[in-house]
């Protein structure tokens, strides 16, 4: 779906980006730590950590699946793939745990909260490739997951990734999308060149 990544050259501009990212992450860290200390999972929902394989053989993608303890395990399950907010920079996997647990508790879906790669260390479209890799992982387990019922969601930057993924793959592969305060440009022409339909 997305082309292979380019690499940053170690120039002054990249060093400035790295310093900005370090400063931005350090200011966000206390709030994330405080939220993680208050994190409790609602009754009837379990969450564990797994790794989804990446197209890059040297890495794997951290995934936190949320599922209801009352879920029917005898048939393939619909999946919601969720991407957390990050400003595309801040590592904040788990900050959407209340949303993920609520969706898992009130729907027949398993919710995959995924940790995608961040800038500036990883150039566009690294984060989108991680989303695609998780979708490939889901499709590779048809006895466990219903690949015909995949939904994507996300907050802020994660919402942008959800909308971009849904627009790129179309309704044939993504059955629904939820972008919560997602950055997008509604002024641009959003007609998809291959399908001739609006994605905005």
0.85 exceeded by pTM: no
What is the percent of the chain with per-residue pLDDT over 70, rounded to a whole number?
74
Burial 94-118 (b: 16+ CB within 10 A, else e): bbbbebbbebbbeeebbbbbbbbbb
CA distance 88 to 118: 5
Report phi then psi at 14, rounded to 5: -65, -40
For the chain, how big is the Rg over CA atoms in Å? Answer: 17
Break the chain into its structural domains and give their ranges.
12-180
Asked if pLDDT for residue 101 goes beyond 90, the answer is yes
The average confidence (pLDDT) of the chain is 83
- The domain 12-180 having CATH identifier 3.40.50.1820: the answer here is yes
Tokens representing 149?
């019922």
pLDDT digits (tens, 9 = 90+) for 134-186: 999 999 999 999 999 999 999 999 999 999 999 999 999 999 999 998 887 77
Q: Is 90 exceeded by the pLDDT of residue 24?
A: no
């Amino acid at each position: 779906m997305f082309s292979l990544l380019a690499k940053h050259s170690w120039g002054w501009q990249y060093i400035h980006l790295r310093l900005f990212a370090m400063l931005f992450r350090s200011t966000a860290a206390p709030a994330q730590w405080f939220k993680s200390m208050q994190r409790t999972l609602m009754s009837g929902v379990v969450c564990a950590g797994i790794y989804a394989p990446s197209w890059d053989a040297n890495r794997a993608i951290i995934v936190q699946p949320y599922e209801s303890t009352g879920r029917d395990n005898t048939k393939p399950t619909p999946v919601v793939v969720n991407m957390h907010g990050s400003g595309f920079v801040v590592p904040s996997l788990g900050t959407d745990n209340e949303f993920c647990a609520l969706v898992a508790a009130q729907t027949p879906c398993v919710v995959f909260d995924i940790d995608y790669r961040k800038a500036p260390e990883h150039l566009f479209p690294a984060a989108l490739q991680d989303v695609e890799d998780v979708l490939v992982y889901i499709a590779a387990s048809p006895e466990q997951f219903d690949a015909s019922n995949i939904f994507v969601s996300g907050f802020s930057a994660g919402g942008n990734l959800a909308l971009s993924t849904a627009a790129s793959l179309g309704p044939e592969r993504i059955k629904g999308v939820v972008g919560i305060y997602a950055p997008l440009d509604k002024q641009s022409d959003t007609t998809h060149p291959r399908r001739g339909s609006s994605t905005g």
